[in-house]
Structure 1
Amino acid sequence: MILRLLIVLTFIQVPFVFGQSNTGTNADSGKLAMQMESKTRSIRRDIPLTNSIRKALKAGTRNFGGTPGPNYWQLKTDYDINASLDPATSTITGKETISLHNNSGDQLKEIALRLDHNIFRARVPRGFSVPAETTDGMVVTRIRIDGVDVDLKLAPPRRGQASSGEKKSYATGLDQTVAIVSLAAPIEPRSVAKVEIEWSTKLPGGEDGRGHRMTQRWDNRLFQPTQWYPRLANYDDLRGWETNVYLGPSEFYNNYGRFDVRIEMPAGWLVSGTGVLQNPDEVLTKTARERLSRVLSSDAEIIIVGKDEQGPGKATAGGDKLVWHFAADQVNDFAWATSNEFVWRATRATIPGKGPVPIHMLYLPERADRFENAGKISRHALEFYSKLWIPYEFPQLTLQDGPSAGMEYPMVINSNQGAADHETFHQWIPMM
């Protein structure tokens, strides 16, 4: 995460050093600007500081060198999510609790929620490359802040309108990709608030299973959920809440924190995702667990679940429903995939100063050729970038087959071997 900040600020803030030298607002700015001057430069010296940068420099949350200032802070958001997916209807139903750690010095009088799946509503703007399927979007049925219900239907008061009495928290924009919850009582600095949300969303498909990164299923045989749960928007020292609408063809800017995620699926459906599986004894067969135990012993690729091992008791443990429990620390998102036809192979990468970490590959049998070299490519990328920059920090890497080919999430690559190196690079920037 610090690596991401250093690099971003190096590119974004260094040009402002030159402009600051002309303002006289900081005694050291002129000296630093001269130190950073080069004989040949393409950036004009008189680019002015923005008000937000000037304010952050004064507050000590940023500095001229591009590193975090002495008073730098980040909001932290920890997620506890319980969700289930019905393959027949392609619908996820979920409940989540977000622990919002307000590490800023600000009173938060409102919070912003990102509801990205609302781009599939009929009258919500979306990028041209987003698949055309129209759904009901992300349907939020309940929000609670510290145990108190938020009014989801209360109209915001008009200017000059007299108060109706008791002050209530209320939400607006729940049918858009960004919703605002106005709070009856602010969240104080250096305090923790509990945000509980209940919701459902249908995973969209694209024409012939093709589409943008937001295409999230192939018929009802493979699902690849991304941006699938309500997320607390980022809040930082430069802009406050990040409230740009989501159009589809764009990246995300999230808070970091811990994810504790439980996903209920029918037995026979393999599930992969961000983090580390916490309950392999409950969801995997004895054979799969034994094969997994050998992955870190050599560079050989091991078949964990083969193409002929499908269904309850073969691909997964037996029974009717299984709950897959994943946990991940210090990440900014959670993505996953599931299929009742997955082939699962695994190998390892050896990280300098850390040791071996597993690389998992899950794909449909007829697409095996697209993953033939995925393990070797990902291993080389993890080991090479670990030597070039800093060692890979995460405990595993997973490549997931599906329609959204070419998008990265923490510990997860929605890609086959074609973009494996590129997407592995993104595990450093912006995932760390």
Structure 2
Amino acid sequence: MKTKVNFLMCVLVLVLTNTLNAQEVKPNNQDLFSEFIDRTGNRYRSASGVPGPEYWQNQANYKIDVSLNPENHNIKGHVEIEYINNSPFDLNFAWLFLEQNRFTPNSRGTLTTPLGGNRYKGDVVGGYKLSNIKVKNSGSTSSKHIINDTRMQVFFKKPLKAKGGKAIISMDFEFVIPEKGMDRMGRLEVEDGTIYALAQWYPKMVTFDDIQGWNIMPYLGAGEFYLEYGNFEYSVEVPREYIVVGSGQLQNPKEVLTKKQQKRLDEARQSDKAQFIIKPKEVGQTDKIRPDGNSFTWKFKMQNSRDVAFAASKAFIWDAAKIDLPDNKNALAQSAYPRESHGDNAWERSTEYTKASIEHYSNQWFPYPYKNAINVAADVGGMEYPGMAFCSYRSRAGSLWGVTDHEFGHIWFPMIVGSNERRHAWMDEGFNTFINLYSTDAFNDGEYPNRMLLAKQNLISWFLSPNREAINTFPDVAQSQNLGIVAYYKPALGLYILREYILGPERFDYAFKSYIKAWAYKHPTPGDFFNIMENAGGENLSWFFKSWFYGNDNIELSIKAVTQTDEGYQIEFESSGIPMPVVYNVYYKDGTKDELRLPVEIWQRGDTWTTALETDKRIKKIVIDPNRILLDVKPQNNRWEAQD
């Protein structure tokens, strides 16, 4: 007992002595390294980042039949939705999105568009006309519903049972196709006719999940989509002259294509080079490129998808080529475009670009899941849908490669990995911009410059701006001038830094592939992504995720002082922002160099750190981040050079 008392007295004396001698207690950086969101696991989502043992999501299967009337630009048809409630809760009602209601004078999207307009300004002469709304389940039928802006609430006469209860929701609908569809859909007049790019074209189920319940945020503009997965059967009736291309597989080619076109498609499936289905000189020659009849119904199917889109026109040139996928599988790359887009290194390369993009992502990250990938020239800057993209008919050369590659990159985020675009645009646009970086470098050994890396240093002024916003800002809230950086560039740069500077390609790639595989056709949250990257990558990254994705701090490393000692040198580093490992090169006067690294934990106790370098060589210069991976807002103090 006496020994224990003496030990405690010694400890107390030591503490008091150190306290009296200390001039001040330096603040530590524990807050920078603390957790910032609740990432504890539960039965639905695990702390390791993978779906929990009781993870669930609901399913929506669609049967849609529509007709397109070019005379009045009208779509009219019927939708039947089989809605399956896999949740552990009985449901008294369900929500649907009516996204065409955005194109009305008093929609929330119209009323929240700035007076000067923006990319998401749309027509105001549309909106749905709905009729024969029926909701059937458990032998009962209800027609009770409430429509509010871009959403509709339907009510079950009897609760839709948990864990497998099924309902059939059906209605007739029609709308006028907007000319300007918020840069996501619409009409384009060309010399040979109209190109209709059809998206957000049918009433669809709102996602019900374990995070938000019903995700009923309205369709305003910048915020995109969050949808349930399911199976689709849809048909499009058009006049004889029209060609239809759409998400999924064409089910009746013998009914809607000539024998020559069927043969050309079969040849394209075996060809690495684009083969014409409709040649430029054949456009407008209806009797040569269309079977007999007044109108045709094109039928499509798509399995395990969250959406479908289609395009129709009598102005299409149409070509296709084989996509080589892992495990000796194949798909078909297709392009449909008007004669205005053909030639001068333009859309005649679209299928080449589509093929190269999908092959790269399939080999690098996760196999492409669909049988077709279709690029359509439209009056849309660039917009993605499952198995399909709309890109500007004016694009050519590097611009067309960039937009094609970006839109098909979206097949992986968010079409395969089904994140909530309306809340977390960075998990959609940012992840995709990141993978575009590597696909661009790979395409024809760098035929086109890498726009993201070229733009990196030009972003410093934005990172220092007092008007910058954090990545986690909702897309419909972010200022227009900030959206491109907070949704696209900054999250992409964050992943680039994580791969090339913090984790290294081997650890990053394993973790990133683990994320894609775990959440393919499911609904991950930011926390799920952070958890799986930490667990599979083997690194506590809360300090990085917290500051880069949820804050406005910047990276600012510097060399504060270099002092020569009897044993060599002491180098003092400083961090004035986001903590980072210090990767640095020491260059000696004899022409040699050392490549060195200090772990991020050096910043836990404070903002400066001194390290010793034992050497008998004389230092010429020291450079932090010699490969210029980081976006350091003051790169000029990343170097130190000897004065003698």
TM class by shorter chain equals 0.7 to 0.9
Tell me the percent identity.
Answer: 28
User: In the superposition, relative to structure 1, how do residues 301 and 79 fare at CA in structure 2: closer, same or farther (>3 Å)?
Assistant: same
Please give the per-residue CA displacement for 1:62-107, whole angstroms capped at 9, x wherever unaligned.
1111111110111111000010010111110010110111111111
Corresponding residue for 1:346?
Answer: 320
- Between the aligned partners of 2:278 and 2:30, the Cα distance in structure 1 is 56
TM-score, L = length of structure 2:
0.54
Matched, 1:171 2:145: yes
Corresponding residue for 1:200?
Answer: 174
Task: Report how far residue 394 of structure 1 moved.
Answer: 1.1
Contact kept, 8 Å, 2:184 with 2:383, in 1: the verdict is no
Matched, 1:318 2:292: yes
Corresponding residue for 1:243?
Answer: 216
Please give the per-residue CA displacement for 1:131-162, whole angstroms capped at 9, x wherever unaligned.
442224012112111186644xxxxxxxxxxx
- Between the aligned partners of 2:141 and 2:288, the Cα distance in structure 1 is 44
Task: Report how far residue 312 of structure 1 moved.
Answer: 4.0
- Between the aligned partners of 1:311 and 1:117, the Cα distance in structure 2 is 34
1:283-362 correspondence runs (5 A) = 283-309=256-282, 310=284, 312-362=286-336
User: In the superposition, relative to structure 1, how do residues 43 and 124 fare at CA in structure 2: closer, same or farther (>3 Å)?
Assistant: farther
SS at match of 1:92: strand
1:104-115 correspondence runs (5 A) = 104-115=87-98
Matched, 1:423 2:396: no
Q: Which amino acid aligns with 1:360?
A: Q
Please give the per-residue CA displacement for 1:149-185, whole angstroms capped at 9, x wherever unaligned.
644xxxxxxxxxxxxxxxxxx21125x1011113222
User: In the superposition, relative to structure 1, how do residues 149 and 364 fare at CA in structure 2: closer, same or farther (>3 Å)?
Assistant: farther
Corresponding residue for 1:161?
Answer: none
Q: From 36, 48, 64, give the equivalent of 1:47.
A: 36
- Between the aligned partners of 2:32 and 2:228, the Cα distance in structure 1 is 31
Matched, 1:390 2:360: no
1:109-188 correspondence runs (5 A) = 109-126=92-109, 127=113, 128=117, 129-146=119-136, 150-151=142-143, 170-174=144-148, 176-188=149-161
- Between the aligned partners of 1:395 and 1:114, the Cα distance in structure 2 is 28
SS at match of 2:281: coil
Contact kept, 8 Å, 2:273 with 2:352, in 1: the verdict is no
Contact kept, 8 Å, 1:97 with 1:194, in 2: the verdict is yes
Please give the per-residue CA displacement for 1:20-52, whole angstroms capped at 9, x wherever unaligned.
xxxxxxxxxxxxxxxxxxxx9996424252xxx
Task: Report how far residue 401 of structure 1 moved.
Answer: 1.2
Task: Report how far residue 242 of structure 1 moved.
Answer: 1.0
Q: From 39, 56, 67, give the equivalent of 1:73.
A: 56
TM-score, L = length of structure 1:
0.80
SS at match of 2:61: strand
Contact kept, 8 Å, 2:330 with 2:371, in 1: the verdict is no
User: In the superposition, relative to structure 1, how do residues 391 and 84 fare at CA in structure 2: closer, same or farther (>3 Å)?
Assistant: same
Please give the per-residue CA displacement for 1:334-375, whole angstroms capped at 9, x wherever unaligned.
100010110001112211213321101000111114313222
User: In the superposition, relative to structure 1, how do residues 134 and 338 fare at CA in structure 2: closer, same or farther (>3 Å)?
Assistant: same
- Between the aligned partners of 1:42 and 1:328, the Cα distance in structure 2 is 48
Corresponding residue for 1:167?
Answer: none
Contact kept, 8 Å, 2:136 with 2:142, in 1: the verdict is no
Q: Which amino acid aligns with 1:395?
A: K
User: In the superposition, relative to structure 1, how do residues 413 and 215 fare at CA in structure 2: closer, same or farther (>3 Å)?
Assistant: closer
Contact kept, 8 Å, 1:143 with 1:149, in 2: the verdict is no
Contact kept, 8 Å, 1:142 with 1:149, in 2: the verdict is no
- Between the aligned partners of 1:227 and 1:44, the Cα distance in structure 2 is 43
User: In the superposition, relative to structure 1, how do residues 319 and 404 fare at CA in structure 2: closer, same or farther (>3 Å)?
Assistant: same
Corresponding residue for 2:574?
Answer: none
SS at match of 2:49: coil
Aligned length, in residue pairs: 364
Contact kept, 8 Å, 1:80 with 1:259, in 2: the verdict is yes
Q: Which amino acid aligns with 1:302?
A: Q
Unmatched 5+ stretches in structure 1: 1-39, 152-169
- Between the aligned partners of 1:374 and 1:80, the Cα distance in structure 2 is 31
- Between the aligned partners of 1:230 and 1:426, the Cα distance in structure 2 is 22
Matched, 1:265 2:238: yes
User: Which has the larger Rg?
Assistant: 2
User: In the superposition, relative to structure 1, how do residues 43 and 345 fare at CA in structure 2: closer, same or farther (>3 Å)?
Assistant: farther
Contact kept, 8 Å, 1:312 with 1:319, in 2: the verdict is no
- Between the aligned partners of 1:221 and 1:141, the Cα distance in structure 2 is 28
Task: Report how far residue 424 of structure 1 moved.
Answer: 1.4
- Between the aligned partners of 2:165 and 2:104, the Cα distance in structure 1 is 35
Corresponding residue for 1:63?
Answer: 46
Corresponding residue for 1:156?
Answer: none
- Between the aligned partners of 1:354 and 1:239, the Cα distance in structure 2 is 41
Q: From 187, 190, 212, give the equivalent of 2:182.
A: 212
- Between the aligned partners of 2:407 and 2:160, the Cα distance in structure 1 is 37
Contact kept, 8 Å, 2:145 with 2:154, in 1: the verdict is yes
Contact kept, 8 Å, 1:113 with 1:179, in 2: the verdict is yes
Corresponding residue for 2:520?
Answer: none
Corresponding residue for 1:89?
Answer: 72
Q: Which has the higher contact order (CA 8 A, sep 6+)?
A: 1
SS at match of 2:202: coil
Corresponding residue for 1:99?
Answer: 82
User: In the superposition, relative to structure 1, how do residues 74 and 278 fare at CA in structure 2: closer, same or farther (>3 Å)?
Assistant: same
Contact kept, 8 Å, 2:130 with 2:174, in 1: the verdict is yes
Corresponding residue for 2:624?
Answer: none
Task: Report how far residue 399 of structure 1 moved.
Answer: 0.3
Corresponding residue for 1:166?
Answer: none
- Between the aligned partners of 2:187 and 2:378, the Cα distance in structure 1 is 7
Bigger shift: residues 280-289 or 412-421: 412-421
Higher fraction of helix: 2
